[in-house]
Structure 1
């Protein structure tokens, strides 16, 4: 473990080698009790006065979250959050862009850890495991709006990682950018499903919930445009990133005016109750027809 960490964080302009990362990834699955030791050892390396080593420590932590035993890593990381600290980082003129990238990357990882604590789950990992995600089915009363807002906050931090390249070898920057792009794709899938769910229940929400839902929808429309632009720029360097970036689909973006008009209607509550009553009648008729088909 110690050897893998030391070799993965060598003071050189190259990202951590996959064989060293794989050693650590395997340990998170086969010996999860060692995750604390791995994080503590990474924390020691992160105290080195070198932006390269600090950058690599963040990349390793991110990789363990993505490819390793992610929930266990995030859970243990909450106890060792200082590992993500970059307060010892010093500016260096020859690596100005990389250090700016590192700051934004750090902020994103800190928020990802915070989001895990707030939701008690990692939406990025679950989006790749489940055909239909949690937010596609979660009820408003169970926290749909709150958790969607948290996912949108994560997307905002992803989009803030506007990687710029220094003159020379940028392999470390490309490594971090690839991880962020992969996270962004997963988060966008999650929030897209959440918005579809929100739209399906918008007309039955209380006016207070509908107001928050409208804010979420407007933010979704804005972030969708920003995400499309972000991914378009990333596609230009797909070869360097080592990934193929797909075209993403999304919920309709042109409903804000209609939703806002409904929200501001003086007869909002009457229309809401009428809509709920109509939905209940439809459900009753469907149930009756279903029973009749078996009689």
Structure 2
């Protein structure tokens, strides 16, 4: 028997009547079942972001609406689904999120329906902050650090010093917001938080590769910089060293 509640079925049925297949898929991805969003619903939504006739703002609004639910399960799954689409969907999805003035307003979210609700609410507040930061850094950079080319001829490695000095603090801000999720292995107790953690883990590996490329570029161009720029570059390098420990601690959780 399915773990969907009557509320889940009614919500999905409402969208069936109004004819919005995308909204129905969002509802099905964000049911009260304590498990990560089902792959078939995520795949459907990814495909939808590539269809020119699909209304991206409407899709995002349905996700934001699900994130106003009182249940930690529904809210957490709405965040996981949004993150999944930011990573795997057509770039116009993250572009739209970046163009909005407000995204997730969950800094006071609290599900009081049990001890599990209290525990998970903490991670929901942290996770929503990271997703807001991810969209904000896209707005500032006009690209997603996790999606750009890495390595010797990558974006951060070939960036001009002036732009690099402006970009690195933005990247650092995104990495900091991710590290603040701060989960321990014994707290990965259900399929929903596990799905969120896996997306964060993969983002961190890509973000850190960018960060590393940026630092290499800074060090290579250090002696070509003006005095003020050198000071900024040293500050960025110092912050990089302190974050290395925190990054390795976060990655250890996945072992």
TM-score, length-normalised on structure 2?
Answer: 0.84
Give the structure with the larger helix fraction.
Answer: 1
SS at match of 2:34: coil
Q: CA deviation digits over 1:77-101, x for unaligned, max 9?
A: 1344545222673242422221111
Residue of structure 2 aligned with 1:112, choices 119, 127, 134: 134
Q: How far did 1:47 drift?
A: 2.1
Taking the aligned partners of 2:196 and 2:77, their CA distance within structure 1 comes to 9
Q: Which residue of 1 aligns with 2:221?
A: 201
1:133 counterpart = 2:163? no
Q: How far did 1:200 drift?
A: 0.5
Q: How far did 1:181 drift?
A: 0.6
Q: Which residue of 2 aligns with 1:248?
A: none
Residue of structure 1 aligned with 2:231, choices 211, 231, 253: 211
1:19 counterpart = 2:40? yes
Q: Which residue of 2 aligns with 1:51?
A: 72
1:233 counterpart = 2:253? yes
- Ranges in structure 1 where 5+ consecutive residues have no aligned partner: 236-295
Q: Which residue of 1 aligns with 2:31?
A: 10
Residue of structure 2 aligned with 1:185, choices 200, 205, 208: 205
- Ranges in structure 2 where 5+ consecutive residues have no aligned partner: 1-21
In our comparison, the structure showing a higher alpha carbon Rg is 1
Bigger mean CA offset, 219-228 vs 18-27: 219-228
Residue of structure 2 aligned with 1:28, choices 39, 43, 49: 49
- Please say if residues 46 and 85 of structure 2, whose CA atoms lie closer than 8 Å, have aligned partners that are also in contact: yes
Q: How far did 1:232 drift?
A: 1.7
- Relative to 1, partners in 2 of residues 1:131 and 1:24: Cα closer, same or farther, differing over 3 Å? farther
SS at match of 2:253: helix
Residue of structure 2 aligned with 1:73, choices 93, 105, 111: 93
Off by >4 Å, runs of 4+ in structure 1: 79-83, 164-169
Alignment: residue pair count: 232
